[in-house]
Amino acid sequence: MPRAFLVVLDSVGCGGAPDAEAFGDAGANTLGHIAQACAAGQADKGRAGPLRLPVLDGLGLGAAILLASGMDAPGLGARPSGLWGAATEVSRGKDTPSGHWELAGVPVPWDWTYFPRQIPAFSPDLTAKVCDLAGTHGILGNCHAGGVAIIDRFGAEHLRTGWPICYTSADSVFQIAAHEQAFGLDRLHKLCADLAPHLHAIRVGRVIARPFLGTEGAFTRTHNRRDYAIAPPAPTLCDWVSGAGRVVHGVGKISDIFSGQGITHSHKGADDAALCDHLLRLVDGAEDGSLTFCNLVEFDSLYGHPRDVAGYARALERFDAVAGQMLGRLRPGDIAVFTADHGNDPTAAGSDHTRERVPVLVAGLGAGEIGHCGFVDVAASIAQHLGVPAHGPGRSFLP
């Protein structure tokens, strides 16, 4: 039986979303602007010259950028050897759960709850709930912030008081940072798990545990992050495949994003390099008829939010080599689908995600233009390839 590998390059958008202006993201184009910066010599830290993605561009990446946004991205002009297109999201968000659920066939049917850009950002009732669950007399932060900056700002006070550091972002998310040793890692995870149902009930998408270590002036986040996400509102591609008796491998945050629903095995790692090792191992050994669903988050977390153009380019070029290894190991009948869940243009103002179309590149079925499609069409297409019933609104774009 054929297998399918769905790889989400977190935040690797390609511009052109028709509703970008409504999100404050008019003109955003993650891939296009990175390619332009590289060609202009503005991303030469740790690398040099035009953006080099021979494998992904060979599948049709440059063509997808042009289709999505009208931009002829410098250095990405190969003649496509795979199926290629650009997908548009309909869910009213530009966040991880919205993008992944819709790629898996289920658009978000509600408006997410977002916290206001004010201090305090959280209501007195919510703050009291956190204090009650944490057993503390207060919280720190209570604002919009980046994860590294807020730990540097409040880490020492956290060690003195024992109060958790609570913050949010432009996403529908409540994040809690705490010292693994002084506060306790298990205690932090339990606090987030206990708080999550209360926030899910008001349509906050995720509660995220953000542990760190170190001392004042030298705090570092650890790899023991854990996401407590609201469950999808309907069965997704993962459920369709597992419900047909097939195996579903979730690599990276996938099990967290889908609250474990439909996931047979979850494969975690300390970084994207470790996740790519899992991905290549599964290309070699995953079961016939299985789905491997992978999220690689560092494009977003390490380079998109900090607005690091050169770092983003380096990460793309590193993954292109991994994609080449994947394609060389696929079995006859397998497909590999490379796409993204939203944008995070590192040349844009601020530090938030950007509303964009995303590339859809398919290896294993020859060359051809998919054209414009919906996120949900990715799920319908993979279901068709695996021979399992699709229950969502998408339509397959496979030949």
Q: Give the annotated binding-site residues for Mn(2+).
A: 10, 300, 305, 341-342, 353
Specify whether the CB–CB gap between 319 and 276 falls below 8 A: yes
Residues 114-143 as b or e (16 or more Cβ within 10 Å = b) = bbeeeeebbeeebbebbbebbebeebbbbb
Specify whether the CB–CB gap between 12 and 56 falls below 8 A: no
Q: Are strands 165-168 and 368-374 parallel, antiparallel or unpaired?
A: unpaired
Nearest of 134, 195, 121, 189 to residue 162 by alpha carbon: 134
Rounded-to-integer distance, Cα 364 and Cα 327, Å = 8
Rounded-to-integer distance, Cα 27 and Cα 22, Å = 12
> Would you tell me how many other CB atoms lie within 10 Å of the CB of residue 18?
9
CA 96 to mean position of chain CA atoms: 5
Specify whether the CB–CB gap between 50 and 38 falls below 8 A: yes
Q: Please tell me what DSSP assigns to residue 180.
A: I
Detail the residues annotated as belonging to a binding site. Answer: 10, 300, 305, 341-342, 353
- Considering only CA atoms, give the Rg of the chain: 21
Rounded-to-integer distance, Cα 202 and Cα 111, Å = 10
Task: Assess whether the previous peptide bond of 120 is cis (omega < 30° from 0).
Answer: yes
Q: What are phi and psi of 222, to 5 degrees?
A: -100, 180
Specify whether the CB–CB gap between 35 and 76 falls below 8 A: yes
Structure tokens at 12: 């690797």
